[in-house]
Amino acid sequence: MLNNSTSHYLNTYTNRLELAEDTREDSPQFNQIKNEYTSRLTPISPHDQRHFEPSSNTKKYLFYKNNIELETIFDYPFYPEFNESKIIFLVDGTYEGNHDCPLNLSHSDFAKGNLTNSIDLENPEYKLKTLPTNIQVFINNDGAPRNLFSGDTIRKQDPLRIIWRREFHNDKQLDSTIADILKDLNNSKYNHVKIYNRDLTIYSRDDFDQREEKIKINTNKSDVIFSLEYNGDHINSDNNEYKFIGDEIGRKWKVEIHTPHFKANPDSIQPSDFSGSSRYISFNEFREYKNFDVRG
């Protein structure tokens, strides 16, 4: 479409590659060329639709420095600076300030429409794809972390913090930027991150380190023995101190108390209930907490 439009422009409005005097472009002819390509356009995703909402603002223009910069703009034209503009004219930078600049052929008022040097082509937006519930992503700009969700946008240079979580395991954390990830995609620390076509995808992982919790039941009775069992698995104690690892913390363990002086009906205990300062409890507190039926 760009090639056809250029060819039509040169054949219609120039004379030996010089602008013809008193020439003004005929928009319907360009619209006819545009319509020929309408059926070939790729549908715009709901996320990117916001960049193409109709605008009543004045037309704007941008002088590009070279073909590489022009290709960068066409590769991903969803720059926020374009959002409020109905039409963006991309003009070869060699015409800037010249009397034969193509913008002089337009009836539009470009007094406040110059976007040149106002767009950071090296810091484009990326979209965060569907995010699993056990993953959190933050942008940490100016010391004020902002939580991101599926569909949010991230700048290439934004400082990112990605946290993977699994219950009863230690978190995994990655601090980086999209720019740094792109420079070192083969680094193993980026194994669960993928960047493709301005989309950022973060995958779940299972290489967590198991968390450890200990519960110690203090008693001055040396002949009191506790037995903890879960589906045939037993937890051994060291002086009535029990260590639980990973998923064991969230299980309900069957508890039996053995003593020659009294008996107690079996009950259950879930280590996650005894987090923090409650990990070390007295025998009486333990009995009261779990409502053990203890009879002498």
Supply the pTM of this predicted model: 0.61
- What would the pLDDT profile of 169-178 be if each residue is shown by its tens digit? 999 999 999 9
Q: How far is CA 177 from CA 62, 140, 184, 230, 243, in A?
A: 28, 10, 11, 44, 39
Q: By mean pLDDT, which of 75-89, 237-251, 260-274 is the weakest?
A: 260-274
Can you tell me the mean pLDDT for 76-97?
Answer: 82
* DSSP-derived 3-state class of residue 112: coil
Distance CA 182, CA 70 (A): 21
Mean pLDDT, the chain, as a whole number?
Answer: 79
CB atoms near residue 57 (< 10 Å):
12
Which residues face 172 on adjacent strands? Answer: 164
